[in-house]
Amino acid sequence: MQKRALVVGLGIAGMSATIGLRRAGWTPVIVERAPERRTGGYFVGLFPEGRQAAIDLGIAEHLHTRNPKRADGGGNAWSVNRRGRRRPALGFLDQPGEPAAVLRGDIEAALWQSTTDVEVRFGTTPVEITEGADGARVLLEDAGTAKRYREDFDLVVGADGMRSSVRRIVFGPHEDHLTTWNAMICAFQLKEQVPTYEASDSIIVARAKRAVWVFGLADHAPTALLTYRTKDFREQFSGSRDERLRAVYSGMDDDPVVRHVLDSLDEAPDHVFDSVHQVRMPRWSRGRVVLVGDAAWCMNLYSGMGATSSLRGGAALGVALREHPDDLAAALDAWETGLRPYITKHQRTARLKQQMFVPSSRRAAVLRSVLIGLARRIRGRRTATETGGQQVSALSGASR
Ligand SMILES: Cc1cc2nc3c(=O)[nH]c(=O)nc-3n(C[C@H](O)[C@H](O)[C@H](O)COP(=O)(O)OP(=O)(O)OC[C@H]3O[C@@H](n4cnc5c(N)ncnc54)[C@H](O)[C@@H]3O)c2cc1C
């Protein structure tokens, strides 16, 4: 008989794990809290490990990428200084690894195409998980009917995001696992590009403790990210979100980029407004319950590796289960041993990357801009050398 797994969460980690489980010969069932599959989302840069996982999962051909083409005149990254002057900058897509520009929904849509014949129960959440001798017994609740029922599974995969219910039920309260960063984000799609910029340009306005990013895309309106540091993240959730953001960005809102982004928030189809955390856990599985993606190791947006690692984690879980078909404990051990060094490395570098997104002080802002200027010059020189090299080899090819 095929083994059954309950996958909690229809995000990138949940669908990646589902495809992995199926390839390992399991029968997954997905429960998702939302009443329907979400679409859209914010800008995500997908790094080489994520693109490789997409290939491993067999979804790469369905993955729509949106990197702007610089040859078309757009796709430039600009930094705006205090006097409102724009200067060429290094954008998110200029990082090593040449990330693929996508919306979170693009990854989910590609995964969904390989998940359509899997049973998905929307509006359903786990309420209780107990482990017996030969299975995990889960009490599920259907939000539509308020009906609760019990069902047995050979494995429960918690892929239900940073504030995972599976983690809370099995591993303990959120406070035990969420680290405090005292930083906030608000991410959403813009209806239109900031006036006077090319449609696919990216724009960065980074000041001490507050920053606004616009991510340009090839065939879609840009997405925006407001991110700021605060003394007490809990306080940020009280009162009106709009008033809060206007107060945080006061003094910066005479800049046309900041004003355009703040004014666009009301028209956004949806948005994420949340505090920033990392999830730190000494172990990602217990018995027949395993966590994957943000539920297990949320690295946060500053790392730029959450989607990449969710794809990789889900794909690797499938491989481990395939390689240890009769020993679940050995499969989960092998999976965690293989993945943990990579996750730890990116969790550590996120603090440094945060300085690039939103500097912690005026001094850090100055240092950031000097470093980016330097990196830009080195990159420019390298590109010139490469282009020169290509021209030389093209010439020598022609003379042969
Ligand atoms: C603004 C922003 C920018 C980012 N940029 C990047 C980037 O450039 N590169 C990158 O790699 N990553 C990026 N990330 C991170 C990346 O988006 C996440 O790490 C990734 O989407 C996590 O996927 P997940 O499936 O683990 O969790 P989620 O996307 O949170 O999905 C969890 C799913 O579980 C469901 N769920 C929750 N609770 C329950 C429950 N109790 N029962 C049933 N279902 C439940 C939710 O509805 C959701 O569908 C960014 C994140 C943000 C916020």
Whether ligand 1 lies within 6 angstroms of the CB of 225 is answered as yes
Ligand 1 centre to CA of 163 (Å) is 10
Provide the pLDDT for residue 399: 32
Cβ of 313 closer than 6 Å to ligand 1, yes or no, is no
Residue with tokens 């979170």: 104
* CB environment 226-235: b (16+ within 10 A), e (fewer): bbbbbeebee
Query: Which residue has the least CA distance to atom 17 on ligand 1?
Result: 307
Name the percent of the chain in helix, strand, coil, to the closest 5: 40, 25, 30
Separation of CA 68 and ligand 1 centre (Å): 24
Three-state secondary structure string covering 375-391: HHHHHHHHHHHHHHHHH
Q: What is the pLDDT of residue 390?
A: 53
Give span(s): CATH 3.30.9, the chain: 70-102+180-277
Measure 310 CA to ligand 1 centroid, in angstroms.
9
Per-residue model confidence (pLDDT) at position 25:
96
For residue 132, the model assigns a pLDDT of 83
Determine how β-strand 210-215 pairs with β-strand 202-207: antiparallel
Cα separation, 207 vs 51, whole angstroms = 32
Mutate which of 294, 309, 347, 354 to test ligand 1's pocket (most atoms within 8 Å of Cβ)? 294
Q: What single string gives the DSSP state of each residue in 126-158?
A: EEEEEEETTEEEEEEEETTTTEEEEEEESEEEE
Give CA–CA dist 359/259, Å, rounded.
20
Contacts of 222 (CB under 8 A, 6+ apart): 43, 189, 190, 193, 194, 199, 200, 201, 202, 214, 215, 216
At 197 the pLDDT is 96
Number of neighbouring beta carbons within 10 Å of residue 279: 24
Compute CA distances 178 → 11, 63, 128, 148, 167, whole Å: 20, 31, 21, 29, 11
Q: How far apart are CA 299 and CA 161, in angstroms?
A: 11
3-state secondary structure of 18: helix
Q: Is the CB of 343 under 6 A from ligand 1?
A: no
Ligand 1 center–CA 301 separation, angstroms:
10
Q: Provide the token pair at 64.
A: 């729509």
User: According to CATH, where is 3.50.50.60 located in the chain?
Assistant: 4-63+103-178+278-355
Identify which of 29, 30, 33, 298 to mutate to test ligand 1's pocket (most ligand atoms within 8 A of the CB). Answer: 33
Only one residue has tokens 């369905």, namely 62
Show pLDDT as tens, one digit a residue, over the chain (400 residues).
789 999 999 999 999 999 999 999 999 999 999 999 999 899 999 999 999 999 999 999 999 999 998 877 789 999 999 899 999 999 999 998 999 999 999 999 999 999 989 999 999 999 999 998 789 999 999 999 999 999 999 999 999 999 999 999 999 999 999 999 999 999 999 999 999 999 999 999 999 999 999 999 999 999 999 999 999 999 999 999 999 999 999 999 899 999 999 999 998 989 999 999 999 999 999 999 999 999 999 999 999 999 999 999 999 999 999 999 999 999 999 999 999 999 999 999 999 999 999 999 999 999 998 998 888 888 777 666 665 555 444 434 333 2
pLDDT given at position 366: 93
H helices present in 6-58, as ranges: 12-23, 48-56
CATH class of the 4-63+103-178+278-355 domain in this structure: alpha beta
Chosen CATH of 70-102+180-277 out of 3.30.2290, 3.30.70, 2.40.10, 3.30.9: 3.30.9
Mutate to test the pocket of ligand 1, among 12, 18, 141, 349 (most ligand atoms within 8 A of CB): 12
Encoded tokens for 182: 């005292």
DSSP codes, 81-106: -TTS-EEE---GGGSTT-PEEEEHHH
Distance 179 CA to ligand 1 centre (A): 17
